[in-house]
Amino acid sequence: MVTSSTNPSLRRSALRADCDRCFALCCAAFGFAQSADFAEDKPAGSPCRHLDDRHSCTIHAVLRDRGFRGCTAFDCFGAGQAVSQRLFSGVSWRERPDTRRRMFAAFGVLRQVHEMIWYLAEAQERTYDADIRQQVCDLTETLESLSRGNVDRLRSADMDSVHASVRTLLVEVSAEVRGSYFADDGGLDLRIGPGADLAGCDLRRTRLCGADLRGAVLIGADLRECDLTAVDLLGADLRDARMAGADLSASLYLTQPQIAAARGDAHTRLPTAVSAPLHW
């Protein structure tokens, strides 16, 4: 469960997945289609065929080799154990099949809530504007209150409205931070911008500090040795992006799933809240 804290670092530390206390909700609630990330189709609401009776993955050690690299890049931001242990009192959907639909629905919503709290914690740390910081804190408190609510409250939440409010604040903080790097002075490559399709592009000699790559497609892009300070990576697709030697230590809104999907090395610098995946 997320606990209220004025310290953003402590808040994010509470958003770590604890798979041992979860009923493998990510392996059952969500579906996926056969692709480069998943070796086969799986409908939402049905357990993965590689899941055993103890909610453990039988191919966990070889997921990437077996074609399930998408599983290795997933993160529930701690929603799994919160739903399993708090909302459903440690009683699994296998023990109580009648709870399956409610449990899976709650997990889907709570994961979104926790992810937004994660982003807001960074916004709180990065903004210099006292008024914006207060707005971030107020919205965070609202989300934390929602995260502590019951299943019915979660399922009835107006998530579109919540997402819009969070997005507005994240964009404001992004513009503020990026402005310190003269991001809007016309010096950036014209290809660079929110939602840009940069798949496969060689960006090693492109000025990127302060760039807005929110929602950009960077699949297979070459970012080796790049300085990504103050680069907004909110929702950017970093699958197979080449990050060897890149400096992402002060990038904006970078998450563990994004890094897990990218290709880095021991010289890739990451924010303190994100760790290098084992497959690097």
* Predicted model pTM: 0.92
Nearest to 19 by CA among 59, 46, 51, 56: 56
Per-residue pLDDT of the chain (280 residues; tens, 9 = 90+): 455 556 887 888 889 999 999 999 999 999 999 999 999 999 999 999 999 999 999 999 999 999 999 999 999 999 999 999 999 999 999 999 999 999 999 999 999 999 999 999 999 999 999 999 999 999 999 999 999 999 999 999 999 999 999 999 999 999 999 998 865 555 556 578 899 999 999 999 888 999 999 999 999 999 999 999 999 999 999 999 999 999 999 999 999 999 999 999 999 999 999 999 988 9
Measured distance CA(42)–CA(223) in Å, rounded: 33
Tokens of 117: 């709290």
Domains and CATH numbers, the chain: 182-280 (2.160.20.80)
Nearest to 37 by CA among 265, 260, 274: 260
CA distances from 112 to 13, 77, 119, 139 (A): 17, 9, 11, 14
Task: Give the number of C-alpha atoms closer than 13 A to the C-alpha of residue 203, restricted to the C-beta side.
Answer: 32
